[in-house]
Amino acid sequence: MTAQKTATLTFSDGTPPVEFPIYEGTIGPDVVDIRKLYAQTGKFTYDPGFMSTAACESRITYIDGDKGELLYRGYPIEQLAVNCDYLETCYLLLNGELPNAEQRRDFEYRVMHHTMVHEQMTRFFQGFRRDAHPMAVLVGCVGALSAFYHDSLDINDPEHRFVSAIRLIAKMPTLVAAAYKYSMGQPLMYPRNDLSYTANFMRMMFGTPCEEYQPNDVLVRALDRILILHADHEQNASTSTVRLAGSSGANPFACIAAGIATLWGPAHGGANEACLVMLDEIQKQGGIEKIGEFIDKVKDKNSGVKLMGFGHRVYKNYDPRAKLMEETCAEVLQELGLQNDPTFALAMKLEQIAREDDYFVQRKLYPNVDFYSGIVQKALGIPVSMFTCIFALARTVGWIAQWGEMIADPDQKIGRPRQLFTGPVRRDVKPIAER
Ligand code: SDX
């Protein structure tokens, strides 16, 4: 990075002014390189929640929150969702370019021939209660993959990094489906390499050994698009966790397990589950007639109630994924003859009312990727408790692409933020009799 512009920081406390280089990206905000601030002034910057902090340089995903734009390696999400499938998108995120026909065939072959997990992995499931939250199972099992590969992994070897990426992308559907089957008390289904990536996943989720599972192409395509929409999203909380874990040199399976744990939170990937719970609650209270009352509760700061699936740290316009998710939702409901699904009607009415309400307009709160994704996943037969697992399955490629970019970055260091300390100053321990 070369700096053409600079920023000068002056201080009112007599600290001499400091000049910092400013770097420009290909698109998006410039950055002020403050790496020398502490060495030159003995001061830190202060940015809890990283509202104004670029933690890294990246070439993978770009978001324009004001325009509501999302690009994977420069390609708009609207075009990828229509013209590509999830595995092509995985190839793009990992390699920087869309695959040609031969590259796509080779990539798909490699992924589909890594879909099985070690037979002993199935023992891990036996240790969980049947009613364990599937995200708890997934965190445990993905972390446990480290136990099978940690000694065959030199993270500084690009080929080892690529094999780990293939293994994680390939095995997530098997583990997610196994977590679901275990919760249902049904036998785990082995992957089938003759099916497409997403059809194979749906068969492992909904098939049984008792009969042939016939994937519905419309539903497979819809779920494949949902995976594309969730594949990556710049430096969100879970991706930042994966980068931070990876900066210590931890193996990628452990880093992805850390990302899954972060995604689980209702403010992040857990919002799709929380959004459907919210819609079901409004339905129970009386449905569309009760929307006004619910919105009033959301606007009352003391209620602690948020409109789940709304708002975003970056998007201050419509999340482009939400629009695509709404279209996919309508397609799936149509295909299943559920076009009058009351939850979908309620969600659309709730969106319409919220977007006309000053509270939301002033705060630039729009539907995000999680607002409609729960409705379409429920229509696909995926239980609410599995929604965030599907998000984790889809996001694995984004996490591993970002992890790989960080490991390959010659400037990368272990992430180690500092703090503003406001606790007790030095004091001596008194004997217990004097305390
Ligand atoms: C994801 O980062 C990513 O890229 C994440 C993600 C990805 O792909 O990785 O896009 C996936 O996590 C989507 C977001 C899913 N979460 C939700 O839908 C949960 C509900 N949304 C909120 O919790 C909230 O909008 C966040 C967490 C998403 C963003 O919070 P910010 O950026 O910290 O904004 P904020 O909390 O400071 O909100 C600003 C104001 C506040 O009001 P005031 O203090 O100004 O009066 O807006 C209010 C907030 O109270 N607000 C909401 C709201 N979201 C923000 N009020 C009601 N309902 C909401 N949903």
Q: Which residues pair with 7 in a beta bridge?
A: 20
Q: Would you state the pLDDT for residue 133?
A: 95
- Say how many C-beta atoms besides its own lie within 10 A of residue 76's C-beta: 13
Q: Which of 109, 385, 74, 372 is nearest to 232 (CA)?
A: 74
φ, ψ for residue 72, nearest 5 deg: -100, 115
Q: Would you state the pLDDT for residue 149?
A: 83
Angle at 42 between CA 38 and CA 44, to 5 degrees: 55
Q: Pick the residue whose CA is nearest to atom 30 on ligand 1.
A: 313
Is 66 part of the annotated catalytic residue set?
Answer: no
Q: Would you state the pLDDT for residue 398?
A: 98
3-state secondary structure 164-232: HHHHHHHHHHHHHHHHHHHHHCCCCCCCCCCCCHHHHHHHHHHCECCECCCCCHHHHHHHHHHHHHCCC
Q: Pick the residue whose CA is nearest to atom 32 on ligand 1.
A: 313
Residue 281 Cα to ligand 1 middle (Å): 20
Q: Which of 116, 133, 16, 63 is nearest to 318 (CA)?
A: 63
Residue 106 Cα to ligand 1 middle (Å): 40
Ligand 1 atom nearest 368 alpha carbon: 13
C-alpha 109/C-alpha 269 separation (Å) is 30
Pocket residue to mutate for ligand 1, from 313, 316, 350, most atoms within 8 A of Cβ: 313
Q: Of 224, 312, 319, 341, which is the active-site residue?
A: 312
Q: 153 and 146 in contact (C-beta within 8 Å)?
A: no
Residue 361 Cα to ligand 1 middle (Å): 14
Q: 373 and 274 in contact (C-beta within 8 Å)?
A: no
Tens-digit pLDDT string for the chain (435 aa): 776 899 999 999 999 999 999 999 999 999 999 999 999 999 999 999 999 999 999 999 999 999 999 999 999 999 999 999 999 999 999 999 999 999 999 999 999 999 999 999 989 999 999 999 999 999 999 999 999 987 668 888 999 999 999 999 999 999 999 999 999 999 999 999 999 999 999 999 999 999 999 999 999 999 999 999 999 999 999 999 999 999 999 999 999 999 999 999 999 998 988 999 999 999 999 999 999 999 999 999 999 999 999 999 999 988 999 999 999 999 999 999 998 889 989 999 999 999 899 999 999 999 999 999 988 999 999 999 999 999 999 999 999 999 999 999 998 899 999 999 999 999 999 999 999
Q: 183 and 134 in contact (C-beta within 8 Å)?
A: yes
201-210 long-range contacts, CB within 8 A, separation 24+: 201/173, 201/176, 201/177, 201/393, 204/173, 204/174, 204/177, 204/178, 205/176, 205/177, 205/180, 205/181, 205/381, 205/382, 206/381
Q: Would you state the pLDDT for residue 193?
A: 92
Q: Pick the residue whose CA is nearest to atom 54 on ligand 1.
A: 311
Is 312 part of the annotated catalytic residue set?
Answer: yes
Tokens, residue 382: 């995926």
Task: Please name the residues in contact with 265: beta carbons below 8 A apart, sequence gap of 6 or more.
Answer: 237
Residue 236 Cα to ligand 1 middle (Å): 12
> How far is CA 11 from its chain centroid?
40
Q: Pick the residue whose CA is nearest to atom 24 on ligand 1.
A: 311
Tokens, residue 14: 């007599």
